[in-house]
């Protein structure tokens, strides 16, 4: 995958001192050839004692327009402020996009588009780059017509069924919290020996946002749910996929499950279930039901098609595991990662993401020699529960082949397993819930590729 | 300002029990009139025992297609996943936009576009809605041609001047941190007796993002800056406004000042200085120089036009105050706020934002009776230094006129002043650095408007 036009996907040469005697000559030579348009002005400014005005004066006085002409953006009038506008990324970032995997699914409506993790910083995923997973395509539903119903599988499980408009929901007490969402099938291809090329395709069914909504417990309290008997919740979406999932009531009682309408400060995006989705922190994305229209309380799990046929873990010996929906502790190095190129030896900042469906990330260790030696990475603040955590580590690359891996540990003490350890327990027939350590090989050429260490 | 099509700008009627005997009749009556398209299906589903399939079966069996036809989004095939796409908000959110104030400035290139704070949740501002303030318009600069120079006003102030490409900068150690940015002129109109109608126009030159970049100290260490003598930094932008600002070296030494390329996970937006801007946490936005091309260290403040003529505080008695760039502790209630309408008595969640340029917000008190009684609001996690903090408070509106205000206190013990207190010290001739308590009047009609309490 090429990232030629954006700096965020590349790793290039180390800084040079352009202002040494040799550097001066090089800069002028290159400027004359038009290769370093800015440096010629910056350099002229330095000669003149600093400042754009000085550079312009110098340009005017020595007449060498070829070297000292200021660029248009330093002399012209730019674009006006937005008149009722919604901003977009730079045209130079057009290669930083969600991308589908052609052939992965039979239709583009029941499919996936992966987030470009290798080009992202920090922990927030821009909503325009949030991964997509649809079961029957996405819709832009009129919020004034959308309703949410709360009912019981048996009338005795709650005092009164309720139906809410969006306006009614948005008047209720709300909270905002940062959480990751990961598809249960993320990194699914790696169960076999398929090493897909980039971390966009290995780990890109992962995103992180600040979600805003009403704790589901508030709605259930209004409806008078009998928490002693109603131990399960069925969540139902309004799209044509008839998506239904069972959520254990203890997650609702903890206050963590939200009926969410906000994401990263604004209303949910249509691809993410506008105007309403369930947020089930730590649990696989399929349970975060989009276009949420109904919540039913019941006294047993519902065994719906998307938890009895799909989203199950095939185990050794022909058994399968159901309702294994918590996303266990996991991490991935995003820089350097598959498809990137290290153009020179020297300093690099290794950077990546760690997360756990069971709470906070406690520690991340990183190796550059395939696991013989590990160093503990820095965790960037804030470290939040069931949220992405950004880690970094300083690295001097000696130009020799290197295998880069990260291994996360969460606050429960659980340690992310190797592929070998995971397969020993889970076998090789699964699609879902692969949280194994990811390996990136840095070749002598600087090219980085996905390798599977058995 | 009307927000008719989006739920995020409105406050409407309280929940009703649609499933009481009277409710049943009302729902059917309204459904027949086509006013509650979803409820008729949800209600039918409840009658049938739950589920869309049940509703559809019911629709087929009783033949009353007028009431029980499922909407297209519950039966049809939706939109496909993005094929190399960048997502956009729902069409129903088209009214949630940045907005300029016609007539406020002579040209639209040296102007402002305000963020719609009244429609935002949590603390992250979507980059597409981040406020804009340009001095000579915005540009989309080619990052492969952009350079950053580090030099000294005197050659003895550092060991070697440096010029960095974007690729070189992005290999250096970086950090990601959440910070607010506020224009020094935010809430400037309120210095006089001009009560602009909405919090978009009173406080909308305020946004908050996760910024990613290289601590400026790293670049200065590479250049061998003499920190004992070089106590000031001049930051210079590459756009035609010749924007230059002095930054005290102690802010750089603290590690807080960043040479930033990332914002909310992706590269900076063009309106925000792509590909490079200075991030000076806690300091007014004008110092966060966009299109950053040069940093010069010096032994005295530079007194540039944008700190000697503009961005000064006119004080009583004809004096003026310079270099008062820290944004003091401030807050604003965003719900309810000017332009919104409360359509009924009863429960509301008062919600707003608090921030301080000197550290963390420690407490926010809220009054609904113009300051006679105050209650302490809940602060939502995470509470971060020099970052927006979201506060909320439960409120039962009795339908009588109410004056809603918030008063923030930061970790230094500083308390946000009233307008009267601020004017006693600062007089009435200022434009900049108004951090007074904001007052919203809720009228008996439910309409909310900006009022100034002397």
Give me the count of residues in chain B: 454
Q: Is B335 helix (H, G, I), strand (E, B) or coil?
A: strand
pLDDT given at position B192? 77
Question: What percentage of chain B reaches a pLDDT higher than 90?
Answer: 72
pLDDT score of A130 more than 60? yes
**Range in A274-283, B341-350, B398-407 the model is least confident about:** B341-350
B252 three-class SS: helix
HSE toward the beta carbon, residue B2, CA cutoff 13 A:
2
pLDDT at B183 over 90: yes
* Spatial separation of the C-alpha atoms in residues A171 and A167, rounded to whole Å: 7
Best of A265, A279, A344, A395 to disrupt the B interface (most B CBs within 10 Å) is: A265
Q: Residue A318's Cα: distance from chain center in Å?
A: 33
- How confident is residue B43, by pLDDT bands cut at 50, 70 and 90? very low
Within an 8 Å CB–CB cutoff, is residue B397 touching chain A? no
- Place B357 in a pLDDT band, splitting at 50, 70 and 90: very high
- Out of A143-152, A426-435, B311-320, the most confident range is A143-152
Query: Looking at the partner chain, which of B7, B74, B167 has a beta carbon nearest the beta carbon of A167?
Result: B7
Q: What is the pLDDT of residue A16?
A: 32
B80 interaction partners in chain A (CB closer than 8 Å): 107-109, 111, 134, 137
DSSP A34: T
Mean pLDDT along residues B116-125: 97
- Which tops the pLDDT comparison, A219 or B323? A219
Task: Say which DSSP state B369 is in.
Answer: B
Instruction: Using pLDDT thresholds of 50, 70 and 90, give the confidence band for residue B40.
Output: very low
Q: Are B210 and B178 in contact (CB under 8 A)?
A: yes
Of A130, A178, A156, A138, the C-alpha closest to A388 is A178
Pick the residue with more confidence: A214 or B47? A214
Q: Which of B7-21, B75-89, B99-113, B286-300 shows the lowest per-residue confidence on average (mean pLDDT)?
A: B7-21
Helix H or strand E encompassing A448: strand A448-450
Q: Which of A2, A38, A81 to mutate to test the interface with B (most CBs of B within 10 A)?
A: A81
CB A111 within 8 A of CB B79: no
Using pLDDT thresholds of 50, 70 and 90, give the confidence band for residue A113. very high
Partner residue facing B7 (CB), from A127, A143, A294:
A143
CA distances from A195 to A205, A386, A442 (A): 16, 27, 15
Taking the whole predicted model, whether its pTM rises above 0.90 is answered as: no
pLDDT at A163 over 80: yes
**SS3 assignment, position A279:** strand
Q: How confident is the model over A124-134, as a mean pLDDT?
A: 96
Q: Which chain A residues have a beta carbon less than 8 Å from that of B270?
A: 79, 90
Identify which of B77, B113, B167 has the shortest CB distance to residue A240.
Answer: B77
Closest among A324, A360, A339 to A434, alpha carbons compared: A324
The b/e string for B317-327 (b: 16+ C-beta within 10 A; e otherwise) is eeeeeeebbbb
Question: Chain A interface, mutation test: which of B113, B124, B223, B360, most A Cβ atoms within 10 Å?
Answer: B124
Q: Measured between alpha carbons, how far is A48 from A39 in angstroms, rounded to an integer?
A: 14
B157: nearest Cα among A50, A56, A38: A50
Least CB-CB distance to B39: which of A125, A163, A394? A163
The pLDDT value given to residue A7: 52
**B214 pLDDT more than 60:** yes
Taking the Cβ of residue B277 and every Cβ of chain A, the question of whether any pair is shorter than 8 Å is answered with no
Contacts of B381 in chain A (CB under 8 A): 177, 384
The predicted-structure confidence for B288-319, as pLDDT tens digits, reads as follows 999 999 999 999 999 999 898 889 999 998 89
Q: How confident is the model at residue A422 (pLDDT cuts 50, 70, 90)?
A: very high
Question: Does A390 reach chain B within 8 Å, measured CB to CB?
Answer: yes
Identify the pLDDT of residue B194: 79
Asked whether residue B10 carries a pLDDT value surpassing 60, the answer given is no
Are B266 and A36 in contact (CB < 8 Å)? no
Question: Helix, strand, or coil here: B104?
Answer: coil
Q: What residues of chain B lie within 8 A of the CB of A171, using their CB?
A: 11-12, 14-15, 347-349
**Best of A20, A51, A121, A269 to mutate (most B CBs within 10 Å, chain B):** A121
Of A162-171, A210-219, B52-61, B317-326, least confident by mean pLDDT is B52-61
User: Between these two residues, A96 and A310, which has the higher pLDDT value?
Assistant: A96
Average pLDDT, chain B: 87
Question: Which residues on chain A are in Cβ contact (under 8 Å) with B397?
Answer: none
């Amino acid at each position: 995958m090429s990232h030629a036009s954006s700096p965020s996907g590349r790793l290039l040469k180390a800084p040079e001192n352009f202002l040494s005697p040799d550097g001066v000559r090089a800069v002028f030579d290159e400027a004359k050839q038009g290769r370093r348009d800015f440096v010629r002005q910056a350099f002229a400014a330095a000669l003149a004692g600093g400042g754009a005005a000085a550079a312009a004066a110098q340009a005017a006085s020595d007449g060498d327009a070829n070297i000292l002409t200021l660029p248009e953006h330093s002399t012209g009038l730019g674009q006006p402020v937005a008149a009722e506008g919604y901003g977009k990324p730079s045209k130079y970032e057009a290669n930083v996009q969600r991308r589908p995997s052609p052939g992965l699914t039979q239709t583009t409506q029941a499919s996936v588009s992966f987030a470009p993790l290798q080009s992202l910083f920090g922990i927030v995923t821009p909503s325009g780059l949030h991964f997509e997973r649809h079961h029957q395509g996405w819709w832009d539903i009129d919020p004034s017509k959308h309703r949410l119903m709360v009912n019981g599988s048996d009338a005795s499980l709650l005092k009164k069924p309720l139906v809410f408009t969006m306006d009614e929901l948005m008047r209720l007490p709300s909270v905002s919290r940062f959480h990751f969402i990961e598809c249960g099938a993320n990194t699914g291809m790696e169960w076999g020996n398929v090493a897909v090329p980039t971390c966009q395709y290995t780990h890109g069914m992962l995103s992180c946002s600040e979600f805003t909504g009403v704790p589901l417990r508030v709605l259930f309290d209004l409806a008078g749910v009998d928490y002693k008997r109603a131990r399960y919740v069925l969540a139902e979406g309004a799209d044509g996929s008839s998506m239904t999932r069972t959520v254990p009531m203890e997650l609702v009682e903890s206050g963590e499950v939200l009926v969410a309408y906000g994401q990263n400060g604004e209303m949910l995006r249509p691809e993410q279930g506008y105007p309403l989705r369930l947020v089930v922190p730590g649990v696989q994305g399929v349970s975060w039901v989009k276009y949420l229209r109904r919540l039913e309380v019941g006294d047993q799990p519902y065994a719906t098609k998307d938890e009895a046929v799909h989203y199950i873990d095939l185990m050794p010996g022909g058994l399968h595991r159901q309702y294994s929906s918590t996303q266990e502790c996991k991490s991935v190095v995003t820089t350097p990662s598959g498809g990137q190129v290290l153009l020179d030896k020297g300093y690099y900042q290794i950077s990546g993401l760690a997360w756990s469906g069971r709470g906070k990330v406690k520690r991340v260790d990183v190796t550059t020699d395939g696991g013989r030696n590990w160093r503990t990475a820095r965790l960037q603040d804030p470290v939040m529960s069931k949220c992405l955590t950004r880690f970094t580590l300083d690295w001097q690359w000696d130009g020799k082949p290197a295998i880069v891996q990260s291994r996360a540990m969460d606050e429960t003490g659980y340690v992310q397993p190797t592929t070998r350890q995971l397969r020993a327990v889970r076998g090789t027939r699964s699609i879902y819930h692969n949280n194994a350590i990811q390996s990136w090989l840095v070749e002598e050429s600087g090219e980085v590729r996905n390798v599977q260490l058995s």
